[in-house]
Every structure is written in structure tokens, then in C-alpha cells.
Structure 1
Amino acid sequence: MSRVRTVLGDLPPEELGVCDAHDHLFLSSPRFPGQELDDTVAARAELTAFRAVGGAAVVQWTPHGMGRRAADLPELSRATGVRLVCATGLHQAAHYDPELLDQLRGAGLAELFVAELTEGIGTTGVRAGLIKVAGGFHALDAHTRWTMKAAAEAHHATGAPIAVHLELGTGALDVLDLLCGESGVPGDRVILGHLNRSPDPVVQREAAASGCWLAFDGPSRAHHATDWRMPEAVRALAEAGFADRLLLGGDTVLAGARSVDGGPGMPYLLRRTRPRLEAELGAELVDRILTEHPGRAFGVDWR
């Protein structure tokens, strides 16, 4: 029976509620000095603000080794009433100390992912509900191939979905060739993030035809195409028969992007993105994308 693995335990997909399918409460990286998401008070305030505009669940894509603070997530979920899903996995090599990567190569990456999905993250007792990995810009380097093959192994052992950061929205078809082609991961167990940042309708349709999920996450930076092309892109996919393959998220990565710190933050998804998409697609479909689809994408018949 399918269940979504939250930080407070597994629950039926239909109980997830209105869901931000790709976001971050905590995240740190040497690439973002001084902009770390590492404040529990701010995280609680952000979840409270999201709850106030109708949000019920957030899937945090922060993977292993990037300050995800799994031990703090259960109390944040209890205090705010927002269901939280935590990730295992590994991001691009640039986000890590090389010594840590060397240790992980020696220890067995797939085994780490499986342990965090089934036994818990460290001593926290919090079990991850998805595996997050990342591609490169129009290419899959050795690090990417290593992490994605480990993610595929962990998927086959547990059934967990694999969420993929596409660098500037590129490389989607190469990712699918590796995960679904070489590694045998079913398409509906793969979630592609940021595909909208490289708004190629042909690639989007070809990716959707694999059965994977397309996560449209933003709001966009000034040089990205996320916001102004997203409604048209989503409508085109729906008209092409892929309305049931869509997810929406906020992807708050830096401290200054939080709504409580003056940015758009998590509430933007429901405050601005939702009505904009409803005008293009109708409220019924947008409601399904925000409620039904995340439960299907992250629901697992856990092994």
C-alpha cells in the first residue's frame, strides 16, 4: 500500500494536502556563503506563513551533507501543522568538501541512501522519503553518474522516488537515459526539477512521455524563464495529454529568499503562482497538481 514517508511517519497520499513539492527549510553550501538556511526560528515562521495561505505539506529536497537539520524537522512539523518530507541523496560535487566525497566513495553511497530511507538519518529517527541527486549543465559528469547509479540502487531496494536537480533546466533526456534506460528505474519514480528553466517544449514533452514527473519550481530569477513562460508551458503539456505529470514548488534556496526575510518564500506558490495558473488551466486542474499529484509522486509501497 502506497504511503508518503513524512518526518512524523508514513501517511496515505490523499492526506498530504496542498503541497509545495520542491522546497528547502534548511540548506548550506560553500557556494552560498552567508546565505545559509540555518535558522530554526525563521524556518518555523516560514512554515507558519505557508500554512496561513493554505499550505499543508512541504517536500524538502536538501540532501545528505548540506545542513538539512533532520533532527529539527519533527518539532517544526508538530508546531506548525505542516507535513514535511525529508530527503537523502547527494548534490553536485561543488557543494561538498572533497574529503567528505572521498569518505562516501569508500563507505558505499547506495547503502547510505537505503539506511537513511529505512532506518533513519543518523540518530534522529527521521526517515527520508525521497532521494535527491543532480545533473550537470547539458551533461552528466562522473560525479553525476556515480550518484545517480547509487540512487537507482537505493530505489530498487526501497521503492523510493528519485528527485533530480537539472542544472539550469538542462540534461533531462540524458538523466532519463541513465536512470530509466541504463538503471531500470520506472519513469513514474523520477521527478525532474527545474525543467522549466530551459523551456524547450519538445524536450518537456519527450520527458513527460517517459512517465516521469515535471516539477515547475520558482519563482524565477531575472535571467530565467520560469514565471513568464510557465503558464503557457504547463497548458501546452496538459493539452498534449500530460496534465497528470505536473508538480509545483517554490525552491527557496537562500536566506534572503524567505518571505520572512523579505523574499517571496513558500507563500508565493499559493499567493501568486496558483491564481496565475488557475487563470490559464482552471482551478480544478491546479488543485489536482497541488494536492493529488504530490501524493502520487512521493507515495511509495515501501520495501
Structure 2
Amino acid sequence: MSTVRTVLGDIPPDRLGVCDAHDHVFFSSPRLPGEELCDAAAARAELAAFREQGGSGVVQWTPYGLGRRVADLPLLSRDTGVHIVAATGLHQAAHYSPELLTELRGRLAEVFVSELTRGVGTSGVRAGLIKVAGGFHALDAHARWTMTAAAEAHHATGAPIAVHLELGTGALDVLDLLCGESGVPPHRVILGHLNRSPDAVVQRQAAESGAYLAFDGPSRANHATDWRMPDGVRALADAGFGHRLLLGGDTTTAAARSVNGGPGMPYLLRRIRPRLELALGKPLVDRILTENPGRAFSVEWA
């Protein structure tokens, strides 16, 4: 039976409920100094605020080495009543020291499989997805390395692969590598940040492949997000791909949290949800927030 692997154990897909399909409870990177998501009390308050808006599931895309604090996630999940899915994987090279990347050479897929099946570090908490990243309109050697390792880990476990698309670009190159060269079934691939590059043709081609398309990171003034997203989502739904769409908040900085005056996780349900309901109708938006993530992140675990 397919289940979603949360930090408190595996659950049936329909128990995930209203889901923020791409966000961060904890996250830190040398590229965002001073904006670390590392405060457990703030994380608890953010999850509680999301729960108050009707949310019940959050998929954390924070990968290996970027302050996941996986051991803290089970208590936060229990305290707030929000299901949390943790990630393994590796981000772009710029987020890591050269020494760490050298240390991982030759064993990256092994690390991913271990975190998916045995648990992250000594926490015993198992990851439920693999997160990797592409580059701007291209896949460099690092991206090809990490995606190849992700494909190996997928074949060993069945885990879904979530992909950060840099500024929303490179979706078709990612699919060529993961699905074409590496044999990952398209429905096991989740493409993130499609709203940041509102190319309707590429979005349609990506949807036709069978992959899931995540529209995430709303309310970022420097991206083509909120005001174009309803049209893009509606076009895909009208073309018959409503079952392949996901929504997420992608909170990556402390300033973006609602408890610090930003939009944060609750914004997805407080503002984005009713805006999309005007364009798509409530039944479809409900399915995008519940049924779709339940399918996208559920696995018959090997």
C-alpha cells in the first residue's frame, strides 16, 4: 500500500490533508546570512498559524547539510498537529563547502537511501523525499551528479524526487536527465518554482510528461508569482492537468515568516487559496491542496 512518510511515521495519503507541498520549517545557507530559519519557537508558531488557517501537512524541502534539524521535527508535528515530511538530497553547490562535497563523492546515493530507509543521523527520523536542484536554464556537473544519485536512490526506494528549478527554468532538461537517461517514472518527479518562469509552453510540456508541477513561493515581488499564477494554473487545469498541480509557500528566510511580519506559511491558505478559487473554483483548488500532494508524495516503500 502506498503511504506518505512523515516524521512521525508512514500515513495513508488521505490523512495528509490540506498540504503546503513545498516549504521549510528549518533552513540555513551561507547564501542567506542572518536569515536562518533556526528558531524552534518561531517554527512552532508558524506551523500553528498554518494549522489555524486549515492546514494539516507541510513538506519540508530542506536537504542534507542545510540546517534541517530533523530531530526537532517530530515534537513540532505532535505539538501543532501538522504532518511534516522531511527531505534528504542536496542543493546547488553554492550552498556547501568544497570539502563537504568532496567528502560525499562516491557515496551520495548511499546517503540518500540511508536517510530514506534508516533515518537521518541518529534521529531515527526517515526522510520522505529527495530534493535536488538545477541551474539557470542548464544542468551543470553538480546538478547532473546529484540528480543521478537521486535517481539511483529512487530506484532503490521508490521515493519521489523534488527539484528546485533555478528561477523556474530548465524543467525539460531535468526531465530529460531524470526520466529519459535515468529511468525515473515522470509521476515520481516534482518540479518546483514553475511560477517563477511563466512560460506556458514549457509548463504544458512538463505537465504532458506526467510530472507534478509545483507553484510555490508566492508573494515574492521580484518574481512573476501571485498575479500570473492563477492564469498559469487555470490554463493547465483547462488542458486536463489539474491532477498534476501542487501549491507551496517556500518560506526560506526568517523575515518571510508570518510571525515576523512576512507572508509565511499561512499566506498560502489565507490569500492564495481564495484567489485561486476565483479562477478555478473551490472543488479543484481543494483537490490541488489535498488529493494531489497525497498522490505526489505517497510511495510503496521498498
TM-score (norm 1): 0.99
**Whole-angstrom distance in 1 between the partners of 2:9 and 2:240:** 34
**Whole-angstrom distance in 2 between the partners of 1:221 and 1:59:** 20
Q: CA deviation at 1:285?
A: 0.2
Match of 1:206 in 2: 205
Is contact 2:248–2:268 with CA below 8 Å preserved after alignment? yes
Please tell me the root mean square deviation across aligned C-alpha atoms, in Å.
0.5
For 2:87, the aligned partner's letter is A
- Alignment deviations for residues 120-140 of structure 1 (CA, whole Å, 9 cap, x no partner): 001001000000000000000
Matches within 5 A, 1:283-302: 283-302=282-301
Match of 1:134 in 2: 133
Q: CA deviation at 1:220?
A: 3.5
TM-score (norm 2): 0.99
Matches within 5 A, 1:52-63: 52-63=52-63
Is contact 2:171–2:202 with CA below 8 Å preserved after alignment? yes
Q: CA deviation at 1:221?
A: 1.9
Matches within 5 A, 1:129-168: 129-168=128-167
**Whole-angstrom distance in 1 between the partners of 2:166 and 2:225:** 14
Residue 84 (1) aligns with residue 84 (2): yes
Matches within 5 A, 1:65-144: 65-106=65-106, 108-144=107-143
Match of 1:250 in 2: 249
Match of 1:30 in 2: 30
Match of 2:20 in 1: 20
- Long gaps (5+) in structure 1: none
Match of 2:40 in 1: 40
For 2:253, the aligned partner's letter is L
Is contact 2:129–2:161 with CA below 8 Å preserved after alignment? yes
For 2:9, the aligned partner's letter is G
Moved segments of 4+, more than 3 Å: none
Residue 238 (1) aligns with residue 237 (2): yes
SS in 1 for 2:227: helix
Percent identity reads 80
Match of 2:225 in 1: 226
For 1:239, the aligned partner's letter is D
- Alignment deviations for residues 217-261 of structure 1 (CA, whole Å, 9 cap, x no partner): 021422211111000000000111111100000000000000001
SS in 2 for 1:227: coil
